[in-house]
Amino acid sequence: MAGRGRAWRSGAVGLCLLLLPLAGCGGGQSPTGTATAEVQRVLDRRAAAVLGHDEKTYAETGARGPYANLRAVPFAAWSYRLTALHPDGAGATADARLSYRIQGYDKAPVTTDRTLTLSRTADGQWYVSRDEPAEKSGQQLWDEGRVTAVSGAHSLVLGVGQSGAALRGYARLADTAVPEVTRAWGGDWTQRVVLLVPGTLSGMAGLLAAPAANYRGIAAVTTGEAGGSARAPADRVILNPEAYAVLGPVGRQVVLTHETTHVATRAHTTPATPLWLSEGYADWIGYLGTGRTPTEVAPELARAVEAGDVPESLPADKDFGFTDDPTTLAEAYEGGWLACRMIAGHWGEERLGAFYRAVGAHRGRPGAVEDALRTELGTTLPDFTARWRDYVTAQLGD
């Protein structure tokens, strides 16, 4: 975010400097300005205590409960920027922007808005009574309880309400996923992943600032901005422990490899990238080497083909929405997977990766797929769609 500067007239600056020894420029800070500066100093001390593992200083600046929840997280940076202060009798509420980085994973700070409740101690010092997500901001994992951290060779797993054994199991799956993704996609990504494991589905929803019903049947999601630059912070893979628990060993690995693919491809996934490509490509890598047949991976489309209902066109973005029609969602994922599998089989795996990058590099959605089909695969959208329909029929038919 660009900073805001303030323009000063040189004459005014000179006048301020001349009068400063006598009265100060502007007559000194207002009471609100003084309080803002004091609160910011308290927040700076609190941030330094987090980084310095100084529980005593942390407790001197406010409630110590959050410290126990977040102390296991390996932070490389942690800071608050006070954006507004709202006095309320003897206390106040404050709006603040929290920025932090996880050591070895985040290239740039992760930022989130917080609402602070402030009071004063007997000697007049400001004290942070509560620190919680601002309205419409997602929770942080430590808002939900004490975080346990497990480090893998290529992963960091942070969990709440999870045993160490369970978290180590997740780390092994993530450590398997990272090299698999690198082999297929290439090494132009961090080759490391952060996995968040809340205790419940509602905990997952809290991290995403969304209703739990949206994710009831979803085993995991990946956060992050599409088209992130090299300076963008690492994505987070967030598990739904309830849906993930019902998967078998292969399903668990496929899910984590799928989500790790999203982390790897994020810088090349832009508004120009249709969901059939981003989700289909993640599934394509996820299922590599599993031995699963097309009818096993795409059972809903197989049923549609058997009934003579072959899709007319590639899945639209709206088909990937979390709605009351799980069949449409399943068919969208399956159709995207088969499209990417067809490209890899007919044009080659390297061409599939080049096609993905070319689509994401387009200036916008209109023409992105069409141009990449022409330049990377030497075909047109009508021809590609016809090939895909024939491929779906051949792979899923009797």
Is there a single domain that holds both residue 228 and residue 297? no
Q: Which helix (H) or strand (E) holds 287?
A: helix 275-287
Is there a single domain that holds both residue 143 and residue 116? no
Domain membership of residue 3 (yes or no) is: no
Q: 223 pLDDT exceeds 90?
A: no
Q: What is the mean pLDDT of the chain?
A: 89
Is there a single domain that holds both residue 275 and residue 398? yes
Residue 261 has which token pair? Answer: 């693919």
- pTM, rounded to two decimals: 0.87
Domain membership of residue 19 (yes or no) is: no
Q: How do residues 300-309 score in pLDDT, each as one tens digit? A: 999 999 999 9
Q: How do residues 14-42 score in pLDDT, each as one tens digit? A: 322 322 332 333 444 555 678 999 999 99
**What is the rounded CA–CA span in Å between residue 365 and residue 316?**
12
Using pLDDT thresholds of 50, 70 and 90, give the confidence band for residue 269. very high
Predicted confidence at residue 306, as pLDDT, reads: 94
C-alpha distances in Å from residue 266, one per residue of 89, 189, 232, 385? 47, 9, 10, 26
CB 242 within 8 A of CB 201: yes
Q: Which helix (H) or strand (E) holds 96?
A: strand 91-102
Predicted confidence at residue 31, as pLDDT, reads: 55
Domain membership of residue 78 (yes or no) is: yes
Using pLDDT thresholds of 50, 70 and 90, give the confidence band for residue 10. very low
Predicted confidence at residue 5, as pLDDT, reads: 34
Is there a single domain that holds both residue 251 and residue 277? no
Residue 78 has which token pair? Answer: 């942690």
Q: The domain spanning residue 232 has which CATH number? A: 3.30.2010.30
Percent of the chain topping pLDDT 90: 81
Q: The domain spanning residue 129 has which CATH number? A: 3.10.450.50
Is there a single domain that holds both residue 305 and residue 257? no
- Listed as own residue / partner, the contacts of 139-144 with beta carbons closer than 8 Å and 24 or more positions apart are 139/203, 139/206, 139/207, 139/209, 140/70, 140/112, 140/207, 141/196, 141/198, 141/207, 142/66, 142/69, 142/70, 142/73, 143/69, 143/206, 144/198, 144/199, 144/203, 144/206, 144/207
Domain that includes residue 174, residue range: 139-267
Domain membership of residue 17 (yes or no) is: no
Is there a single domain that holds both residue 236 and residue 149? yes
How many domains does the chain divide into? 3
